[in-house]
Amino acid sequence: MEEATFDIETQAAAAITNIGGDQTVYAGERRSWIPRIVSVIGLVASLSGLGLLVLTGVRTADTLVTADTWPSNWDYYTEAVAETWLPAMILLAAGIVLSRLGRALGRS
């Protein structure tokens, strides 16, 4: 098997600049404090909703384990779900919407 060889007679290069476009589009601009506050409220709401959802799972599992019966009726399991699932989902969804709204307000 022969080795591949590449002969280059001349080679010239110039400076390559701005690869990938301008990365500092928003660096000089100051965002208003209102979009930041909305984004922070959204982050706090979504993290609170996520924590409440974990608490809901723990309470539901505790309810099912302490009952120590596993019937085939689905109503038993839907009644065993802790009451905090609805506020958890509302907080999680509101947090996602508010954080997106904060980003949208900050770009305008």
Per-domain residue ranges for the chain? 33-107
The answer to whether 99 and 43 have CB atoms below 8 angstroms apart is: yes
- What pLDDT digit, counting tens, does each position of 34-80 carry? 989 999 999 999 999 999 999 999 988 888 888 877 778 788 777 87
pLDDT at 44: 97
pLDDT at 30: 66
- What pLDDT digit, counting tens, does each position of 75-92 carry? 877 787 878 899 999 999
For residues 31 and 63, the model is more confident at 63
pLDDT at 49: 96
d(CA 3, CA 7) in angstroms, rounded, equals: 13
d(CA 67, CA 57) in angstroms, rounded, equals: 16
Contacts of 80 (CB under 8 A, 6+ apart): 60, 63, 64, 67
